[in-house]
Amino acid sequence: MAKQDKAENGMPRLEQQLCFAIYQVGHAFNRAYRPILAELGLTYPQYLVMLVLWEQDGLAVKELGERLMLDSGTLTPLLKRLEASGLIRRERDARDERQVRIHLAEKGEGLRGQGRCVQEAIGQALGGTAGDAGRLRDQLGLVRDALLASSRED
């Protein structure tokens, strides 16, 4: 008997759900990144923080959270671990002491070169070209933007 498009209760099957496919891809990415990032001594969320700081050092915690789409309850423990490992420094803003700015420490700056290799390794794991990866990233950005826009309308 051929596999039906819907389960017996009339709901679309799990494997037909876009959200589940994206969930699975997220897990597969984490699995692929884990050994690569382990060589840098970073977790995936820590790597994302470092990417942002390698782009723009000295961001306020709020700005960093906005870039990563993380709330302060998630970001603060992550930053504390990066600081404890000597990769970043958290400093009060001299002009506004309510704000904390995040700066790369010497050790964090030193990881920049190794951090460049991560993307190459993931590209090889994907087995496609940089152009393929860029097009896929752009399509996922459109999906993200549409979902964010629809959630703001409610």
Sign, Cα dihedral of 25, 26, 29, 34: negative
pLDDT digits (tens, 9 = 90+) for 116-142: 888 888 888 888 777 888 888 899 999
Give me the mean pLDDT over the 63-85 stretch: 95
Q: Is residue 6 part of a domain?
A: no
Is 99 part of a structural domain of the chain?
Answer: yes
pTM score of the predicted model: 0.82
In a domain, 10, yes or no: no
Question: Does 122 reside within a domain?
Answer: yes
CA distance 80 to 88: 9
Residue 10 has pLDDT above 80, yes or no: no
For residue 3, tell me if it sits in a domain: no
The first and second tokens of residue 153, run together, are 């309308």
- Per-residue pLDDT, 153: 72
* Count of domains forming the chain: 1
Note down the domain range covering 103: 27-153
Q: Report if residue 11 sits inside a domain.
A: no
- Residue 4 confidence class, pLDDT cut points 50, 70, 90: low
Which CATH number do you get for residue 51? 1.10.10.10
Domain membership of residue 4 (yes or no) is no
52 has a pLDDT exceeding 60: yes
Contact 81, 132 (CB under 8 A): no
Q: Is residue 120 part of a domain?
A: yes
